[in-house]
Amino acid sequence: MTIQKTTGLPRARTVVHPGPYGPVRINHMHADKGRHFRLSLPAGGTLHDSLVRALAAENVASASMTLLGGELDRLSFCMALPDPTGRVLATYGAPEQLRHARLIFGNATLGRSAGGAAIVHCHGAFSEAQGRVRGGHILTERTVVGPAPVTVVVTALDSFDLRVAYDEETRMPLMRPEARAAHV
């Protein structure tokens, strides 16, 4: 057998954050089981409130979600930009607003703030009313579901919680897994 080596391919980009590098690169927890189900978000509510309410009805406090299609009456989003100060690797640009966008695909995570409030972090691809395809960080509290429902495939993270905490390496708040408090 002859092994052929490929040359000329670009090196994968390496992201180096400004803070101290920790010995554990990715914080993770294992779940012995999980629930998977599908939601259909109706028109009129914000993406944030619709997701939080629907997941609370299923006793879900933390989840990973895939958003598949649907219409958005109002869409608010922003893009990541290099931070000119160098304090962090990237920062969010000014929010942009669209009317009548079509969601193509998205990924979202449900977790909790340090104070316990529900947070939905979402990135997605969408098309403007004129057909131009865009993408970015979706501001779920300002985005309103339109007449065609948004379909959501949910993986409930029932064995642990996701909670926002400051990360030294990125110098940003990130969702991290933590053991779920035992109910007494």
For residue 165, give both structure tokens: 């905490």
In a domain, 30, yes or no: no
In a domain, 50, yes or no: yes
Query: For 17-21, 63-67, 89-93, 138-142, which range has the lowest pLDDT when averaged over its residues?
Result: 17-21
Indicate the number of domains in the chain. 1
In a domain, 146, yes or no: yes
In a domain, 24, yes or no: no
**Rounded to two decimals, what is the model's pTM?**
0.86
Cα 56 to Cα 45, 61, 62, 181: the distances in Å are 15, 7, 10, 17
pLDDT band at 184 (very low <50, low <70, confident <90, very high): very low
Beta bridge partners of 71: 102
* CATH classification of the domain holding 41: 3.30.1330.80
pLDDT band at 139 (very low <50, low <70, confident <90, very high): very high
Cα 167 to Cα 10, 127, 136, 157, 163: the distances in Å are 30, 33, 22, 21, 12
Residue 74's pLDDT is 98
Range of the domain at 62: 35-179
In a domain, 117, yes or no: yes
In a domain, 171, yes or no: yes
